[in-house]
A and B are shown apart, each in its own frame.
Chain A
């Protein structure tokens, strides 16, 4: 499964509506994600995908497309 779909699955588990999300969806303005929810998303990605996620770097993502690119480049857990 491609990273984009895996992330949508994770967001769905966190009670987002995946059908509302495209690569251009703005995480803060369109989805209302705040710093606390970013922290929740970071931990969920770590847990589900066994990746090392830096909370601050994750929050630099403006759109869902940015999020996909960041996560795709994240290192796996050693």
Chain B
């Protein structure tokens, strides 16, 4: 059977530059959520976020590139380059991979509103002559995909997935399937998000999933997945990418094999009258179970679950029901974590960051705790990892849950590279 493996990761997140910074932050179980200072958040219900402040695009990219593009593209291009470098790959060089055999899959939710808001203000205030000619190509969600391809010289398949907070999961799934179909030899898959501009933030507020947190609140305590005091999501900016290859391709070039993408499944459970997901979690649970089936393992072989953990009470409840349905009799024995609480939910990049952390979990045999989970809500009787990281020497399989508004569900299983046979 053809197998898909991870050979590189790259990330720029509120935790810092690089996957190691993300891993250390997750492992600490301490939040780096802070009060927003990119714009005045005073009139918003949620005034805290994860900010990737360590990333200043001018140190990474030429000025003539950054002037044409939004920060969500800057984050994506640099994170994708990091992943490619981590995989020891170059595109188009004599000893590199052929440009038309590299594919790019990008998840994103909001687009490039920091750039767009400025230009739309100029349109209405000063007229069309004052609008940047780059507005049209800077704003739209496929801008990062296009710019990654241009900058890295990639000529293969490229797609952008806009499916709310599951966008990066869909990018990873499509990346794996692209490899299985032989349509590429290398796939750079992940996501990017930059929600820290006044209109984008308002969209997040209108979406109804943000945790209320005003100037008097403790930013680091605002995001509390599965906790009795959970009140919603705290969003962060960032980008994460994984390099995927077929196992034999990675072996042939002597690449480091970090993990296997062993299983995946997607489905939808959009639910009316509220445009959200089913409260009973059965459809989401079915996606999780199908991903296990694809990986060829049973629930009792899972070493850990990385839950979506949105912190939205009804979503937490549905996810717990879905997890219990999938885990069955193993519900007491499989540790559950939700790493986003340490740095913020990266929306269209979230699952790629989770997957990058899962790779580290498999490498180091440690499970990061859920930040701010001190007392699980009633009925949330799973084996949550709280307080400090848990040692898990025999960790072989990690299931990652991803879901978004409108009932977009995805489930991935990452397995230890020692399992690749």
Contacts and interface: CB of A to CB of B under 8 A. Distances in A.
A15 B63 contact: yes
A40 B64 contact: no
A37 B133 CA distance: 8
A15 B62 contact: yes
A15 B129 contact: no
Interface in A14-63: 14-16, 36-37, 39-40, 43, 46
B118 interface: no
A46 B132 CA distance: 14
B134 A40 contact: yes
A40 B130 CA distance: 9
B132 A40 contact: yes
B130 A14 contact: no
B393 to A, nearest CB: 51
Q: Is chain A's binding surface mostly helix, strand, loop or mixed?
A: helix
Contacts of B132: 40
Contact of A16 (B64, B66, B133): B64
B133 A15 contact: no
Number of chain A interface residues as a range: under 10
B69 to A, nearest CB: 12
Contact of B129 (A14, A16, A43): A43
Contacts of B85: none
Number of chain B interface residues as a range: 10 to 19
A14 B67 contact: yes
Contacts of A14: 64, 67
A24 to B, nearest CB: 21
A57 B132 CA distance: 19
Contacts of B68: 36
A46 B127 CA distance: 14
A39 B133 CA distance: 7
B373 to A, nearest CB: 46
B64 A15 contact: yes
A15 B67 contact: yes
Nearest to B137: A36
A4 B64 CA distance: 21
A50 B130 CA distance: 14
B66 to A, nearest CB: 8
Contacts of A46: 129
A49 B133 CA distance: 19
A43 B67 CA distance: 15
Contacts of B134: 36, 40
B143 to A, nearest CB: 14
B130 A43 contact: yes
Interface in B117-143: 129-130, 132-134, 137
Contacts of A16: 64
Contacts of A39: 133
Nearest to B67: A15
A40 B133 contact: yes
A63 B67 CA distance: 23
Interface in B60-119: 62-64, 66-68
A14 B378 CA distance: 58
A36 B133 contact: yes
Contacts of A43: 129-130, 133
Interface in B17-69: 62-64, 66-68
Interface string B375-405: 0000000000000000000000000000000
A37 B137 CA distance: 13
Nearest to A41: B133
Contacts of B62: 15
Contacts of A15: 62-64, 66-67
Nearest to A12: B63
Interface string B276-316: 00000000000000000000000000000000000000000
A7 B63 CA distance: 18
19 contacts: A14-B64, A14-B67, A15-B63, A15-B64, A15-B66, A15-B67, A16-B64, A36-B68, A36-B134, A36-B137, A37-B133, A39-B133, A40-B132, A40-B133, A40-B134, A43-B129, A43-B130, A43-B133, A46-B129
Interface of A: 14-16, 36-37, 39-40, 43, 46
Closest 10 CB pairs of A and B: A15-B63, A39-B133, A15-B64, A36-B133, A40-B133, A15-B67, A43-B129, A36-B134, A40-B132, A14-B67
